Amino acid sequence: MNTVALKKVSIMHELSRVPEGRLDTVLAYIETIIGDISTPQAQQMSLKGIWKDTGLGEINIEGELHAVRQELQHSILARKL
């Protein structure tokens, strides 16, 4: 484990020892720390065209399903009980 993960595990362990009456104080402190950190806004990305030129758009799903169902039907009918 890296040191950041170990620190987080240690904090979680110590949080389990905090008395119930002090949890609100701990939560307020954590929110204060997080509020001071400026987080960069995530860029919105479009997934339009993500499958372009992959060949997936050329699959005939209805035809494939029909063929698989026919194959399954033939295998079931060919069984001998």
Range of the domain at 23: 3-36
Asked if 57 and 51 touch (Cβ cutoff 8 Å), the reply is yes
Q: What is the rounded distance in angstroms from the CA atom of residue 44 to the CA atom of residue 52?
A: 20
Residue 68 falls within a domain, yes or no?
no
In a domain, residue 48? The reply is no
Q: Is there a domain that residue 53 lies in?
A: no
pLDDT along the chain (81 residues), means of 10: 90 93 94 85 85 77 93 92 74
Asked whether residue 45 is domain-assigned, the answer is no
Going by C-beta distance under 8 Å and a sequence separation of 6 or more, which residues neighbour residue 15?
A: 26
**Residue 21 belongs to a domain:** yes
At residue 1, the pLDDT reads 62
Q: How many domains does the chain have?
A: 1
pLDDT confidence of residue 61? 87
Domain-embedded: residue 17? yes
Is 59 within a domain? no
